[in-house]
Homo-oligomer: A and B are copies of this chain.
Amino acid sequence: MTLDAATRAAVLVEALPYVRRFAGRVVVVKYGGNALASGAHGGAGDRVLARFAEDVVLMRAVGMLPVVVHGGGPQIGELMGRLGKTPEFHDGLRVTDAETLDIARMVLVGKVNRDIVGALNLHGPLAIGCSGEDAGFITAAERDPALGYVGDVASVDPALLRHLLREGLVPVVATIGTDATGQAYNINADTVAGAVAVALGAEKLVFLTDVAGVREDRGDPTTVMRRVGADALDALVSSGAVGDGMVPKARACTHAVRAGVGAAHVLDGRIPHVLLLELLTDEGVGTMVVVS
């Protein structure tokens, strides 16, 4: 790249105060299973992951404390298919019986989590995978008996994550939790990301998605909001203007900022280095959710 000195200096002078401001602060990033699925974005899943890993490593390098939370829906579906397991639904939601939970756990903890840890550790011994079962740090509650082992977050004990962060590690969290009897549950990753951000008193909660941001009108891509208050976003959810897969993200965002997280962001993970652009430039990208 042949940028002139003035341009470089301008970007640096803009970025460094953010570096200072976010040093020592927790940033929880939800990385979606879609982004990782083979074939996603024109067969570019691996390249997306590599660039994401580069951003997370740079964030850590300059003193931020990133925590990655991930899902893995497509990958779970794929293994179920290979094992000849037919998904069952209840009110449109997938029923998770013991065997499905076993499959989900193997895929999330033993595959998706490992792939992210591996991509990060290409840059050095930085990342450690964990699931909410480890040191029992995510307590789950059954959502609906008819859905089987689908859980909600009952509580998050931040001690383990804090402690890993203090050692300079990047925790990569698979979203399995356990209840008091030791029973494991699969929990929605957007919800976990929000709960983890709140428990850690995060500065930011970031959702990397495959859309440009939250639209004021779900059908109109030109209505992506640059900034929206929690109340306004809740109203858009209630009215149905925001819907589908964006609903748990929106709810996690409004919950998080009301519980003290500095800001929540919905970004397009396909933009190269979108995390750095959001964190280190005045303009930002995607949609920022603030408390009001």
Residues of A within 8 A of B (CB): 1, 3, 5-17, 19-20, 23, 54, 58, 61-63, 82-83, 102, 105-111, 113-114, 117-119, 121-122, 124-131, 133-137, 157, 160, 163, 167, 169, 176, 178, 182, 184, 271-273, 276-277, 280-281, 285
Determine whether the beta carbon of B17 is less than 8 Å from that of A135: no
Q: Which residue of B lies closest to A118 (CB)?
A: B182
Select from chain B the residue with minimum beta-carbon distance to A20: B61
Partner of A111, one of B3, B7, B102: B102
Chain B residues whose CB sits within 8 angstroms of the CB of A280 once the complex forms: 12
Listed by A's residue number, 8 A-B pairs whose Cβ atoms lie within 8 Å are: A11-B12, A12-B273, A16-B62, A63-B63, A114-B133, A121-B182, A127-B135, A129-B133
A128 to B173, CA, bound (A): 13
A11's partner among B3, B108, B114, B121 (CB-CB below 8 A) is: B3
Given known A-B contacts A114-B105, A129-B130, A277-B8, A62 and B19 have beta carbons under 8 A apart: yes
Q: Nearest-CB distance from A112 to chain B (Å)?
A: 10
Of A19, A83, A108, A137, most B-chain CB atoms within 10 Å? A19
Cβ-defined partner of A8 (8 Å) among B5, B11, B105, B184: B11
Bound together, the chains give a CA A128 to CA B277 distance in angstroms of 35
- Complex contact B15–A178 (CB within 8 A): no
Residue from the set A5, A178, A272 with the largest chain B CB neighbour count within 10 Å: A5
Q: By the criterion CB–CB under 8 Å, are A131 and B129 in contact?
A: yes
Are the C-beta atoms of A125 and B136 separated by less than 8 Å?
Answer: yes
Residues of chain B within 8 A (CB-CB) of A107 are 106, 110
Cα–Cα distance between A121 and B178 once the two chains are bound (Å): 10
Tell me if B5 and A125 are in contact (CB < 8 A): no
> What residue in chain B is nearest A58 (Cβ atoms)?
B16
A-B complex: 4 closest residue pairs judged by Cβ atoms: A110-B110, A106-B110, A20-B61, A125-B136
Q: Please name all residues of chain B whose beta carbon is closer than 8 Å to the beta carbon of A117 when the two chains form the complex.
A: 133-134
Q: Let me know if A276 and B20 touch, CB within 8 A.
A: no
When chains A and B are docked, how far (Å) is the Cα of A6 from the Cα of B131?
A: 35
A125 near B135 (CB under 8 angstroms)?
Answer: yes
Residues of B within 8 A of A113 (CB): 109
A276 touches B13 (CB 8 A): yes
Counting chain B CB atoms within 10 Å of each CB, the highest count among A113, A119, A124 belongs to A113
